[in-house]
Amino acid sequence: MADIVTFPPRPMRTTARLPPLPRLHGAVRTRASLLAAGFSVLLTILSFALVMLVGAALLYDGRFVSLAPTGLCLGERACQLPGTQPLRALLPMQRDMLAVGLVLLSAPALMVLAHLRGLFRLYAAGIVFEPDNVTQISRTGLWLLAYAAAPILVDLMLHRAGLSPGGNWFRVDEIAAVIIGLSLLLVAQVIACGREMEQRRDLFI
């Protein structure tokens, strides 16, 4: 009579489960999401304000918005300063240049907010030290440099249009923007180099 050979049952395969993320990770992602939402709200408000100011520079002829030596003034009292002239007294070309100047001054700040929002959205999604993060940080730094350079260009443009006495471009925040912008560019390069070193190390393991 033939012997019956019995085989031991196969062990059940268990799927390896990753350990749960620490509470700190979840808290950081939540805060990053809140910051991204805050940047979105701020970006919306400032964009709407820019549209209103550009519209006023092009179309408004009332007494509540005028051009002062230091820029646009809002309100009837503020618009009574010496050297202030109503927008209706400007030539159409001057009003166009004023609108362009407003856009050039405001666009870099809006782009900085937009890239900061994009960066914190990545953090909220759990994406850290990736090429997308490096890109957002680098672009934030570049737009900060543009923010520092924009007043020089706008002052020269408005001076040639007869809207500014010239020499009113220097501000302390421009120096801060240059320092922070260059620092962010360096931080982005450091992150990119660290990621490259880690990838090379993984290749040899």
Q: Which pair of structure tokens corresponds to residue 188?
A: 């982005």
pTM: 0.80
121 contacts 133 by C-beta, under 8 angstroms:
no
69 contacts 83 by C-beta, under 8 angstroms:
yes
Between CA 178 and CA 184 the distance in angstroms is 10
**pLDDT tens digit at each of 205 positions of the chain:** 455 555 556 555 554 454 555 555 788 889 999 999 999 999 999 999 999 999 999 998 888 888 877 777 787 776 777 778 888 888 889 899 999 999 999 999 999 999 999 999 999 988 888 899 999 999 999 999 999 999 989 888 888 888 776 666 677 888 999 999 999 999 999 998 988 887 777 665 5
Q: What is the DSSP string of 74-113?
A: ESTTGGGSTT-EEGGGS-HHHHHHHHHHHHHHHHHHHHHH
